[in-house]
Structure 1
């Protein structure tokens, strides 16, 4: 079993750390504003003073924080991971951040004697709770081989995409597909509802045809039942699409559908919905239509 540092115990990180504890690993974490969740405390998680102290105790360090600046602060800020990094420590960033920044972070960790994987995930809160996350990994073959057994505790699909940054590039592509599919499901259900059809039966029928998808299944039900407690927050998906569009500009690439959905998510944020589930993009379309799905 390994001594693992885990920084970021939010909606996703908390159950992920729990699975590592259940598998017999020792977990070390540093807290900011929130206390250690009671379930992790009961399982034996250790709290230390700072990310630096996490690194001093750990052979492998996992970060699961919201955005690129958060990863940079945890790794390279005052009392950051790099100040306590031991030789050959493997840093695994499972956050969703900018690919170019990831390559820079990886180089800095390697120069300090460690190794680095970018390993963002898909699957939302449910995937984290059920240890069924899809993990998209960038890094060397050697680092991947070392990190894979740990990643397999938290995920059901682990794919080595390529060198550092490739995992984050794959995650950006994932977020594009997910966002556009959520928006398509919302439009389809809104159309059916406005036309007077039984929207629950429409969803049931669509699940049996070519339109079938996990998003139609899970988020279509959320839209019908008005269940927008966050599995994945609007503000985080909005951030991810901003990263995708920044990358597209660098590549001189047009992504018109992505830009459209990014604006709809911006409208969600502007109307006070930043903390709601990303399926609540349906609410913006409903406002435009003056009609609520299911009415």
Structure 2
């Protein structure tokens, strides 16, 4: 019932009686959080599809997950645009928590939660019979130029297998038309672009060790760490996060059972080096496609809000 109600709220469905969630008691108060009754959450407003500005309003995956988290903790949500200095905002007390942190990042100055969203450089295809191509099959794989995805393709399959394009919209358009059989992209960004471009693509394998996105909290604030970890576990297990993923990506993102390239299997046996690679891939893919993704965020939000 909770997930059904959440679907109605997230999809903007209209009914004679609107859903009003039962207000829960606050699980934390001052000084564990900066203001009583509010969870101040740091996001980057130039980071679609995680968070971006649409008609003066912050929307995105991170925004929806932060809202669900605040509700579960009995708090009101206050979003703070921290740009690229999330850890700085956390350290100076401007926010209580920060979204979109690399899971397992040993260089982070913050305590990091379990991942709320998985990611890795992935290979997409539209064919139901497609599987992850072998490294010696010499496939042609399109990827956004100068991205880590392009680097992974060239490094694992050879330069002749890489077909560089200016943006992921072009790559998925080529995939849809049959011009290419495969596209390499960050799992989240690729799923988002495919969904907002109405391309029926699926992930057939990953080229990296699977990483993820976590919530960052001050290392000294153990009470807030425990409260967030409990709330995050709840909204994950009850299907709330899956509903949010489906809203923005067209499907719930699960990379646990997809095929891995030989390099991905090898990196899964190590820790620090593969973790750094995953972070770099995500950042490069996102920065290279910001303008396209911001446009898509607007169209995706409008389509979702108007759905009945």
Q: TM-score category by the smaller chain?
A: under 0.3
TM-score by structure 2 length?
Answer: 0.26
Q: Which has the higher helix share?
A: 1
Q: Which TM-score applies when normalising by structure 1?
A: 0.27
Higher strand share: 2
Larger RCO: 1 or 2 (CA < 8 Å, sep 6+): 2
